[in-house]
Amino acid sequence: MNGVALVLDKRLGKSLTIWTTVSSRILSARLLHKHGHLIIIVAYAPTKDHSTTSKDEFYASLESLICSVSPHDKLIVIGDFNAETGVTRVGFEQVIGNFGYENVNDISLRLLTMCSSTNLAVLGFWFKRKKIHRHS
């Protein structure tokens, strides 16, 4: 079976107001909390072995979904993007921190460009971690 999932605790599940499956790789959940709404987007990006078309379609769908989120809602995007942010921040200083990992590749550039255009940051590389704590 293919697809992406989001598992919610029973108590948290009660605050779920909208659940949208965008594709087999992207879903969105809107939760109500005491300060408004929280949007959680879960994404599973195509790997480097997939066609350029499937990668383009994935990032176009994801960016469109992110742009459709109300500015009044809080947004969290989680998932597996099959990308490494690299150690060079040139052009992406607002997107990644000083502690990137490995080298930028085609998938990485797609992720960083999408994050830059939607004002998102990749949080995993703003703080230094031991190499044993990195998931590859």
Number of H helices, E strands in the chain: 3, 4
Going by C-alpha positions, the residue among 41, 45, 125, 120 that lies closest to residue 76 is 41
Q: What domains are there in the chain, each with its CATH number?
A: 15-133 (3.60.10.10)
pLDDT attached to residue 90: 79
Alpha-carbon dihedral of residues 88, 136, 127, 70, nearest 10 degrees?
Answer: 90
Question: pLDDT tens across 50-78, in order?
Answer: 999 999 999 999 999 999 999 999 999 99
Q: How far apart are CA 136 and CA 84, in angstroms?
A: 9
- Beta strands 74-80 and 36-44 are parallel
pTM here is 0.86
- Amino acid identity of residue 66, one-letter, is I
pLDDT of residue 91: 81
Mean pLDDT by 10 residues, the chain (136 residues): 85 92 95 94 93 95 96 94 78 78 79 92 74 56
